[in-house]
Amino acid sequence: MKKRKLIIVIISIMILAAVGVTYSYITRPIKIGVIIPIQSPLGNEENLFVRYYRDAHPKIGQRPVELLIENNVETEKEIKTAYEEMKNKGASIIIGGVTSEEGKWLSEQSAMYDLPTFGITASTALLKDKKDAFFRFVPTNDLQAELVAKYYSKLGKKKLVLITDIKNKSYVEPFAKVITEKFNGKVVNVPFRADEETYNKIVSNNPDSVFCILQAKDVIDVINNLKAKHPEIKIGSSSWGSAEILSMYSSPVLDGVLLFSGSSKIIGEKFKTEISNFQSKYDIEATKGTNYAASVIKAIYRGIEAVGDSNEALKKYFETPRDYETAYGKTQLNEYGDTLLNNMIVMVTTEGKVSNEEILK
């Protein structure tokens, strides 16, 4: 009798222990680090969407999702310090990289710590073909640069001035290098400052075309200063500026400007509904930043559902080539974490609204 009671007590303790372990596991949060500086409209939008998605989907399976957010950062030191803090707090994966410069800094950290990190809109070619635990759906900008050079050449342009940002060097320098190599004519690089000296330097080169590798507000400055005075100059913008321009501006001053970008059409009802709900909740017009943020956070949720939340398992999962459903349809990441998309589009507007799109391959 005593032996039977002892066995019952032992079994009861084992059951309670198992329940305790299970309870501890399902209440332990899955931690996702978010390093998205909000100094730019694009960063602010991406940050807002990631928060929205977590609020709309607070659990993966039965476990709660916790966002470790650091958005008041800007310098390399601040971003890398935030990364180390999130690693120490047990982040399973980190999201970040609005600009290519930020993506470069984050990729250096992910390579050092072997902590999987997903860039949102960091497209620099400097991140290409590296086993650095840094992943991204946005196409690398060397593809865009080559297509831009070919398109201007096809238009018969011979004197191209590149107007380049002086801060986001990781994006600008590889981009400018490829255009210079592939354009069938003369290329001059003019670093951008919003002053008369810069515009005098542009015009003094007597270009038949200019291409802006700038953020949206600076592209608009260029258009306002050049288009009316020099209508013979064909102005174009990289996807960095085009994405925000198309969502935030609708003036006829854009007409005739070449706006290069990735796909503009959201494919898939789930993404359409999610992004539409986000826009309605915050009364915001979503740009490509939201579309890529939605693609990234959904892929991360699916990855954790598939293999759990350990750094090692997630890194192996994203390093294994596979198809992903994104806002722009099905795409694939290779073993280096680079997307295999291979086309771009160029858009022009009429009365500030997109009236023509041409696919470039």
Q: Quick one: pLDDT band at residue 360, thresholds 50, 70, 90?
A: confident
Question: How many whole angstroms separate alpha carbon 117 and alpha carbon 314?
Answer: 10
List, in order, residues 6 or more apart from 19 with CB less than 8 Å away.
none
Strands 344-350 and 258-261, sheet pairing: antiparallel
Angle at 20 between CA 15 and CA 25, to 5 degrees: 130
CATH number of this structure's domain 29-139+266-333, picked from the four choices 3.40.50.2300, 1.20.1250.20, 2.10.10.90, 3.40.50.300: 3.40.50.2300
At residue 23, the pLDDT reads 47
Angle at 224 between CA 226 and CA 120, to 5 degrees: 105
Residue 349 CB coordination number (10 Å):
21
At residue 247, the pLDDT reads 72
Written as six digits, the tokens of 204 are 């003094």
Written as six digits, the tokens of 220 are 């608009």
- Smallest Cα–Cα separation from 297: which of 132, 128, 119? 119
Burial environment of residue 11 by CB neighbours within 10 A (0 to 12, 13 to 18, 19 or more): exposed
At residue 175, the pLDDT reads 94
At residue 342, the pLDDT reads 67
Helices (H) and strands (E) in the chain, counts: 12, 15
What's the pTM? 0.82
Q: Are 108 and 134 in contact (CB under 8 A)?
A: no
pLDDT more than 70, % of the chain: 92
List, in order, residues 6 or more apart from 161 with CB less than 8 Å away.
187, 188, 189, 190, 202, 205, 207, 209, 210, 211
Give residue limits of the domains in the chain. Answer: 29-139+266-333, 141-261
Same fold, 29-139+266-333 and 141-261: yes
pLDDT at 21 over 50: no
- Smallest Cα–Cα separation from 325: which of 343, 298, 349, 288? 298
Question: How many whole angstroms separate alpha carbon 305 and alpha carbon 302?
Answer: 5
Alpha helices in 249-310 (DSSP H): 269-282, 288-307
DSSP run (H or E) holding 319: helix 311-319
Say which amino acid occupies 45.
E
Written as six digits, the tokens of 40 are 């730019």
At residue 12, the pLDDT reads 56
Q: Are 213 and 160 in contact (CB under 8 A)?
A: no
Three-state SS for 76?
helix
Q: Quick one: pLDDT band at residue 5, thresholds 50, 70, 90?
A: low
Backbone angles phi, psi at 290, to 5 degrees: -65, -45
Strands 258-261 and 234-237, sheet pairing: parallel
Q: Are 138 and 326 in contact (CB under 8 A)?
A: no
CATH classification of 141-261 is 1.10.10.10, yes or no? no
Q: Quick one: pLDDT band at residue 8, thresholds 50, 70, 90?
A: low
Q: What is the pLDDT of residues 79-127, one digit of tens each?
A: 999 999 999 999 999 999 888 999 999 999 999 999 999 999 888 888 8
pLDDT at 37 over 70: yes
Strands 322-326 and 209-213, sheet pairing: unpaired
Q: Which letter does DSSP use for residue 124 in this model?
A: -
Angle at 326 between CA 349 and CA 101, to 5 degrees: 75
Question: How many whole angstroms separate alpha carbon 144 and alpha carbon 125?
Answer: 10
Q: Higher-confidence residue: 127 or 177?
A: 177
